[in-house]
Amino acid sequence: MRVLITGVAGFLGSHLADRFLRDGHEVVGIDNFLTGRPENIAHLTGHPRFSFLRHNVSEFTYVAGPLDGVLHFASPASPVDYLELPIQTLKVGSLGTHNALGVALAKGARFLLASTSEVYGDPLVHPQPESYWGNVNPIGPRGCYDEAKRFAEAMTMAYHRAQGVDTRIVRIFNTYGPRMRPGDGRVVSNFIVQALRGEALTVYGDGSQTRSFCFVSDEVEGIYRLFHSGETQPVNIGNPDEFTVRQLAELVIAMTGSSSTITSLPLPADDPKVRQPDIARARAVLGWGPTVPLREGLAATIDYFRGLTGSARLQPPT
C-alpha cells in the first residue's frame, strides 16, 4: 500500500509512519512543523519507502501518484497548543479534513480520521461508549479543538454517505510515550520533565480529575488495525485503566526517584472531570485491547525524556 499521513512529524503521526513502514508499505508524509518536529522523522531520512512534503494541509493539497490510504493526523493536540493556536486548530480540523478527504476521493483511497475523546467534552456518561454524543461547550476555550474534531467527524461521514469514500474514525484517548514534546504541556510530559528537573509537579485543581493513559505502541496498533478493518463507525482506542491526576503525579515522582514536590495551580476552564474509554467495540471488531500497563509505559517514557536531559530543551530557562 501507499499511504499519506498528514501530521507525520507529530507524536502519533511519526509512530504511525513507522508502523506502516515496518509492514513494507510506502508512506508519504505531510507536516508544516507547527507542532510537529523534524527530529521525530529524522530517522526516516533516506528511507526508500518514505517521502516527505513540507506543507500545510489546511491549504489546497496535491499529492502525486496513486494512494491507497489517507490518514489525517495533522492538528495541535495538547490543550496548551490549541489554546495558543485556536484558529489553526479550527482550520486543520475543518479545511484540512476537507482537503484530506478530497485527496482520498480523488485517489480512490481509504480515509482515516484521527478524532478524539474530546468529542465527548466533559462527559456526563462514564465510561464513554461511541454511542455517547458528548457534553461540549462550543464557545469555551477548548471549543476550538472539540468542535473542529466534531466537524471533522461530520465531514468524514458526509463524504462516506454522499461520495462513497471508504472512511474510518478513531477516537483517541490520552496517549503518551517517546516523541512527545517536552514542552507540549500535556500532563504526562509535564510531570516527567518537572520530576527530572527537580521542579514541583504542577497539579491543576485538586488533582481528583481522572484520565486513562494509553501507551503509544498500543494506540498505534489499535489505529493500524482499525485502518485495515471494515468498520466505518467511530471506534474508541485507549486504555481503560483510570487514574486521578494526583495519582499520576505521585507515581511519576516515585518512578523517577525525584525529590520534587507537588504544587497546585488553577484548573483550566472546561477541564473534563473524568475520562475513560469504553473499548467494547474495539475488542469486538478489531480484537484489540491495550497490553502495556501504566508503570511499564511510564518507564519507557521516562527513559526517553532522560535521554533528552543533556539537550537544551530540558534545561530550565536561564
Instruction: For residue 195, report the phi and psi dihedrals to the nearest 5 degrees.
Output: -65, -40
Regarding 226 and contact with ligand UDP (CB under 6 A), the answer is no
14 or 190, CB closer to ligand UDP? 190
> x/- site string to ligand UDP, residues 265 to 284, per CB under 6 A?
--xx--x-------------
Least CB distance to ligand UDP at residue 303 (A):
20
Least CB distance to ligand UDP at residue 204 (A):
4
Mapping DSSP to helix (H, G, I), strand (E, B) and coil, where does residue 93 land?
helix
Q: Are 124 and 274 in contact (CB under 8 A)?
A: no
Q: Which of 82, 120, 132, 145 is catalytic?
A: 145
Which residue of 61, 209, 217, 301 would you call a contact of ligand UDP, by CB under 6 A? Answer: 209
Active site residue 62: no
Which residue of 107, 149, 150, 211 would you call a contact of ligand UDP, by CB under 6 A? Answer: 211
Q: Are 110 and 168 in contact (CB under 8 A)?
A: yes
CB neighbour class for 212 (10 Å; exposed up to 12, middle 13-18, buried from 19): buried
DSSP summary character for residue 128:
B
Q: How far apart are CA 213 and CA 252, in angstroms?
A: 13
Regarding 247 and contact with ligand UDP (CB under 6 A), the answer is no
Instruction: For residue 315, report the phi and psi dihedrals to the nearest 5 degrees.
Output: -80, 145
157, 158, 162, 166 alpha-carbon torsion, rounded to 10° = -30
Size of the site for ligand UDP (CB under 6 A): 16
Regarding 150 and contact with ligand UDP (CB under 6 A), the answer is no
Q: Are 302 and 220 in contact (CB under 8 A)?
A: no
> x/- site string to ligand UDP, residues 105 to 144, per CB under 6 A?
----------------------------------------
Q: In the structure grid, which three cell numbers stand for residue 89, read together?
A: 486548530
Q: Report the site for ligand UDP in 179-208 (rule: CB under 6 A).
A: 185-187, 190, 202-204
**Contact residues for ligand UDP, defined by CB under 6 A:** 78-79, 174, 185-187, 190, 202-204, 209, 211, 245, 267-268, 271
Catalytic residues: 145
